[in-house]
Chains A and B, each alone.
Chain A
Amino acid sequence: MSHHKPEVIKPDLKFATEVIGMGADDMEKCYQCATCSVVCPISPADSPFPRREMLWAQWGLKDKLMGDPNVFLCHQCGDCSDKCPRDAKPGDVLGAIRAFAYRHFATPSFMGTALSDPKFLPALILFPAVLLLAIMGVLSTGIPADIAASILPERLAHLEHEFQIAFFPAGKIVFAKMFPHLGMVDAVFVTLSLLVFLSFFASIKKFWSAMETTVDLPNKKSVGEAFSETLSEFLPHKKFTECGDNKDRAQPHMLLFWSFVILFVVTAFVAGGFWVFDVLIPAVGAEVHNPFLSPLDFKSVSHIILKIMAAAGAALLMYGIIKIIQNRSNPDKKMNTSYADWFFIGVVFAVGATGILSWAFRLAGIGILAYSVYFLHLVAVFMLLGYFPFSKFAHMVYRFTAIMFAKVKDIDVKLAA
């Protein structure tokens, strides 16, 4: 006899049905043998998953699952799905629950809905496209050349004759020419980043408190300690490489992850360089050479290093995402790829492909293609960044948080050193 008051459960058929719709097609086949929990390389022995999560999902126990860190501790390596005697594909079920969680915790919530239904896809593409076109001035009657000249930084004024504000500017291919002011692009993306941060902050707060409700345990570690431990596992993909049968999924994922890191660094230096050396410093009357990247200068060593990093990052990104697409398309892999998965894969692929192509067309001097593809590149980047908290991309933040939470509660698996 239990001394605890029994927990009242409220089965939610709608939740169960929705999870099934989000990629957990075979969820109902589970008959609770717990093979999955046994074979999972990163399931802790004293708090195993995903056997119980499978039953919770069948019973539609939404509240419990939304606050279950195990759902995010899973890296969907697929060992459980491979070994499942009923083909219930627990890996996919947890993936579907994660997808549900991005929607559930999404702030604002309509973004969650927009990202989980293909019917909103055109809107999701059109929104950044229209916004960027607006900035480019194409939707306006066109900004007069003198106004354009007046809002250009003075140092660039001698390029005036090359600045024809139009979709396909004439002359030497310089993408900056697409915009009346380069700063407007940055303004959009910086604002977007801030919104993304705020959205994540609100969502993760809800997520953390949901986990506190489901996992009723005292803290064993400080959040700071958990953070640094998590980071040291995160960067080399320690957990993902524990996977057995689908080990080949970990490597492309790690390459992709590092390509994001490299490209982030490149972007930061280029954007930072522009604002510091081409805007701020001239504004106070000084003049310092921009060592990173400038329409004025193509010769510095740091510039060349950045160019190489950018190329390497792009190559890694393309290699990683193509491998992932191959893996996802392999029918032997017993892995379900939902709409949300394809959406994110598609965006990453688009970012990489448009980036490389626009570069290639620029070097080839085909202006019309170079500018068009670059425009698409910006749309793709907007979709990657702007939809970060609601798309599958969010797994990075949610998973990091869940692992941290598990470490705080001391329920995370102890990996061999």
Chain B
Amino acid sequence: MADKMVKKTGVYLCSGCDIGGALNMEALEKMVNSEVKPAVCRTSEALCLPEAWAAVEADMNNEGVNCVLLCACSSRDKTDVFAVDLDKLIERVPIREQVAWVSKPNDEDTQMLAEDYIRMGASKLKDMEPPVPWFQEDEKAEPIDKTILVIGGGIAGMTAALETSKAGYKAVLVEKESQLGGFANNFKKQTPTKSPWTDLEDPGVAALASAVQGDGNITVLTGTTVEKIKGGPGLFDCSFTGGKEMRVGAIVQASGWKPYKAEKLDHLGYGKSSDVVTNIEFEKMAKAGAIKRPSDGKSPDSVAFIQCAGSRDAERLPYCSSVCCAVSLKQAKYVRETNPDAKAYIIYKDMRTPAQMENFYKAMQADPGIMLTKGEIRSIELDADKSLGIEVGETILGGDIKLNADMVVLATGMVPSTLVEDDDAAGTGLTEDGKKAAASAEAGAMILNLGYRKGTDLPTLKYGFPDSHYICFPYETQRTGIFACGTVRAPMSVAQTVSDATGAALKAIQCVELTAKGNAVHPRSYDNAYPEFFLSRCTQCKRCTEECPFGTLDEDEKGTPKPNPTRCRRCGVCMGACPERIVSFKNYNVPMIGNMIKSVEVPDESDEKPRIIGLICENDALPALDMACKLKTQISPWIRFVNLRCLGSVNTVWVADAMSKGMDGILLFGCKYGDDYQCHFIKGSELCNRRMENISETLDKLALESDRIKMVEVAISDYQKLPQIINDFCAEIEELDPNPYKGF
């Protein structure tokens, strides 16, 4: 470990953007000089101007300043201007957003607020060391590997391998079947993948397969599955059936989908008549040759397609598979091409042909023989004349109708290959999120066979998809360096699969490159610090291992955590979890935040100036606060915000620190949690909430009201509500008696 940095601090105050109009800059400078005692302290009218920033850089270059305390705008603003070298430290004090813009100008409380923020920033700088990127100790012997392993040889996997190769990286493609192609091998035609998006296309599987096989950068292993994967990003050690072993840097899981089980669709006549088939069975029939009614081999005069067969049904498959509508339109075309007098009826809940597929819908709709209506299927029964009688309610044709068809095709949905099906829960996707994840990982979908303490496969969210954060971070799973793409990630069309696989290949490449630099992969991809465990004080309580949302930590026989730094996302959940406080980052640790809180000056009880600490997550809540400040909504001057990587990193000792210092309240701002969580680290805010439930004990010990601590869930779009939330809490705290610990 490197020697401790010898710090020389420069404090730079900016009076621009109305800061000077709201604060007494001279008094601030005086306070800085007397309390922080920096080597340099300067005030500028606009620090972001080139000459002003050049002066700061001159201090760094000429005066040996290596710690910059920049008191100006929010740390999220002007990051291009205020950048320092990796061996120096910078801390931003937001006296513009959180002080000048939201407080009464030239007021005693406003001035105190600015002073406290400067004290907190100075304290933080004091407890910070320049991060040193992590490299494997024997890196010379075993360098970070940049090969991408792709699991699954369907359209997604083949595309991912090809895109990896095109970008100049090596790929290994593993397919369990004896030939490449995956599910698309069953297709007679595929829905359009290119402009004008109106024509059926021949499946592109064969061309894709030969491109893959002819690519020198791609090693193809067919008839092969994964036996074991150990290690982490850059260092995955894989062994396959057939005895092959290799090291890879990142993994793309493109293991595809399986059809929803039609056996659960007897209410739609499946099993009652052989003329009721699934869309998969119909596709295979079309591919094999002529479309014939199974019961008697007659060429059907009419075929009814039933959309959402089991899908968007709370009892069965609650979600929409997004492709079945286009697939039924495609198969309706087969019917029409086979017999120009035949009719294809499509009964839908909603016709869903997202994005460009709308053009395909229009093209198919133009055929008078393809007839569509919205409706709810009431029953499908075999009629006396051997045709199938379909009763449909709530149609837009007007009321309830009955129509007859020679065949019924059930448009069943897509289920991810990662879903673990058992007789009770199979396909319902209704089991509790947590249980489901555990079930999948422990029962094992048996695809990755990870040698992780936290399970052999990717944890899944509801419905069995191995997701992490669908909206913000596509392809990311809950295991760093393993990216899901194609239909295992979400139901999608061939066209979407191709772009999805390309995206995942790029993410995998990004992963190996960042890992090679010792940086975090995601989402703090600029971060080169990593958690350090002071293991001699570890009590083997396993909280860090259990709570890490990414399965970063393995453990030895005694239960001592074994860090795998390349798997880590630097959220600090382990740091918040550890009762012994042995986990720390160079630039983020328990004493640092504790000292920041303690650096706030707490006025005497008789001053009637409450002090409240706002612990705020920097992912969504802080940007929301920044936006609220830009709107210049007044915010109570009693609160001081401390930025956190994630609420999951909140260590309960900070509550004790704040309360014993005489703070009157603590307000925590985190992302939404639960089924539709928005936490960037999956479970951070949820874990924090759980810890806060236990904190009432601490408060009891201190003989304090539990109302003094509150956690709120904030979405980035809540910026307009945020000042109200803050001011309401501050008003509630004012109602309480002052914290009796003031002045201790």
Contact = CB atoms under 8 A, between A and B. Distances in A.
A342 B393 CA distance: 42
Contacts of B631: none
Interface in B56-103: none
B630 interface: no
Contact of A8 (B362, B372, B399, B402): B402
**Which size class do B's interface residues fall under?**
20 to 34
B289 interface: no
A13 B368 contact: yes
B369 A13 contact: yes
Contacts of A52: 396-398
A2 B345 contact: no
B368 A16 contact: yes
A6 B369 CA distance: 23
Given A29-B362, A29-B365, A7 B399 contact: yes
B362 A59 contact: no
Contact of A28 (B367, B378, B397, B399): B367
A417 interface: no
A56 interface: yes
B396 A55 contact: yes
Given A13-B369, A29-B362, A58-B372, A2 B401 contact: no
B371 A7 contact: no
Contacts of A1: 378, 393
Contacts, number: 69
A9 interface: yes
Interface in B334-391: 341, 343, 345, 351, 362, 365-369, 371-374, 378, 391
B400 interface: yes
Given A11-B345, A32-B374, A32-B396, A6 B366 contact: no
Main SS of the interface on chain B? Answer: strand
B366 to A, nearest CB: 5
A144 to B, nearest CB: 62
Given A11-B403, A29-B366, A55 B391 contact: no
Given A6-B402, A7-B402, A9-B402, A28 B396 contact: no
Nearest to A26: B366
A185 to B, nearest CB: 47
A4 B366 contact: no
B378 to A, nearest CB: 8
B392 interface: yes
A6 B394 CA distance: 11
A54 to B, nearest CB: 10
A155 B43 CA distance: 124
Interface string B620-644: 0000000000000000000000000
A20 interface: yes
Contacts of B302: 11
Contacts of A60: 368, 371
A301 to B, nearest CB: 60
A59 B391 contact: no
A17 interface: yes
Contacts of A32: 374, 396
Interface string A59-73: 111000000000000
Given A6-B392, A29-B366, A11 B397 contact: no
Contact of A6 (B343, B351, B371, B391): B391
A9 B371 contact: no
A9 B403 contact: yes
Contacts of A51: 396
A27 to B, nearest CB: 8
12 contacts: A1-B378, A6-B399, A6-B400, A8-B402, A9-B401, A10-B403, A11-B403, A51-B396, A52-B396, A52-B397, A58-B372, A60-B368
Given A8-B404, A27-B368, A29-B366, 7 more contacts: A6-B402, A11-B371, A13-B343, A20-B368, A32-B374, A58-B372, A59-B373
Identify the 8 closest CB pairs spanning chains A and B, nearest first. Answer: A6-B400, A6-B402, A2-B400, A16-B368, A28-B366, A8-B402, A59-B371, A9-B401
